[in-house]
Structure 1
Amino acid sequence: MPLADRAALTCGRTRRAAAGRRDRLAYPGAMDALDRLAAELLRLPPSCGPVRLVAIDGHAGSGKSTLAGRLATALDTLHTGTATGPAPVLHLDDLATHDEPFAWTDRMLRQVIGPLSRGEYAHYAPYDWDRRRFGPLRPLPPAPVVLVEGVGAGRRVLRPYLARLLWMERGPEESWVRGRHRDGHELADFWDGWTVAETRHFTEDPSRPFADALVRECGEGYVRLPGPSVAAGAHQTITYRDGSPAAN
C-alpha cells in the first residue's frame, strides 16, 4: 500500500467533543482514506448484475456495522456529489434468526442476489429479533455499490457474487467482549450460544483467507492492509495447518 494511504488510514488523535458523534464520524484523515476506498470500489467491474456487491465480514462485535455506515456515506458522496443519503447496506442480522443464525443463504440468494443480478430492486423480509418473526418486505435498490455486512458475508456461496471482500481485523475474544458490553447482561445467554455457533461457522466456512483487504480500527480511524487472497495470489491455494491459513 502507498505510504500516503497507510498514513491517512492510521489512527488520529483528534477527540470529538461529543462521544456520540464517534459512531457517525471519523477524523478527517480517516474519511479521506474511506473516500479513496469508496472510489476504488466504484471503479471495480460489476459483480452481481449491474451491482458491485461488497462484503464486510468479521467476528461479531468487531466493528463491521460502523465501518459499513461510514463507507456507505463516502460512497454516496462520491457517486452523487453530495451527501443525499448513505449507499445501500444490507445487514445480515436482518436475514438471520434465533434458530438459524447462519442458515440464511437460501433467503439471501432468492430475495437479494437473484433480483440484483437482474438489475431489479431486491425485497427482503427483515427478521424482528424481539417478536421472533419476519417483518414486512424492505426494498434494496440495485445501486452501483451495495454493502453486505455481517458475520458470514464472505461465505463460500456468496463469494462468486462479490466484487470485494473486506475483513474487519479484530480477534474473536476481543470482538465478543465488545459485543457483550454493547448488548448488556440481558443478552448474555444469547452471546453464550452465539460464540459457539460463530466458531463452528468459521471453522467450516472461513472468510478471512479469501479477503481482499484487512481493515483494522485504530482510534477513530482505520488501517487497511492487503488481504490473504492478495498475498496468496490468484493461482495459489489456501490450505490449513493447525487451524491457521497458509498459501501453497
Structure 2
Amino acid sequence: MPPSPPAATPGAAIRILLVEDHDMVAEAIRMALDRATDLEVVGRSASIGAGLADAARLSPDVVLLDRRLPDGDGIGGIAGLKAAAPHCRVLVLAGEATASVATRVAEAGGAGLLLKTDNLTELQDAVRRVAAGEVAFSKGLLSDVLDRLTGRTPDRGATLTPRERETLDLLGEGLGSAEISRRLGVAVNTARNHIQRVLEKLGARTQLEAVTTARRDGLLR
C-alpha cells in the first residue's frame, strides 16, 4: 500500500480547490469555508477536466469534488486529480449517496464523502480531518464502507424501498425504463431515478449486473 500523503503544513491555512459546476452552490461553499481562518479556497473549477488542470497548477491540500459534473461522475476523476496533485486529498460532495457509492469513493482513493445536506460546520471539520490524513464520511456511511471493504457485506436488499423493490422485479422481467414507467405509472425520468437507486444499493454498474446480483442474493424469484 502506498504511503499516505503528508498532511497540510501545521500553522498554514488548508488550501482547497473546489470543483463544482453550479455557481450559487460554489459561492455558498466558498463563503462557508472562507469564514474559517484556517481554510482557504484557492480556486474553483466547473468540470473534471478543468479541475485536473487547476489541481496541477495550484497544488491544493484538499480537493472538494462534486459528484455530478458536466463531463462525468466526479468519482471517476479522483485518480486523475491525485495524479495531478500527488499530495492532495479528495473529499467528494453528493446530493445523496448509498454505501456502495461511498465504497466507490474509498476504492478510488478518495478521503471521504459528505452529503450536501450536512451542515457547514461538518463540512469545515471534514476538510480539516482529510487534510490531516484522516477520512471523513457522512454519518451512517463509514461503518457500511468498512463492512464492504473488509468483505462483511450487509444484506444488499435491506435498504431497498417498496418502490425500488417493484422496480427491481420489473428489471428482472427484462423491462427497460420506458416500460417500467408505464407499469409503475410514473414519468420516465422518475423510473430512471428508481433504477439508478436500485443499481447503487446493489453495488451494480449495469441493469444486467443488478439483476444477476439480485438473483444470486435471493431478491428475485
- Judge same fold: TM > 0.5, yes or no: no
Task: Kindly name which structure, 1 or 2, has the bigger radius of gyration based on alpha carbons.
Answer: 2
Q: Which has the higher contact order (CA 8 A, sep 6+)?
A: 1
More strand by share: 1
TM-score by length of 2: 0.34
More helix by share: 2
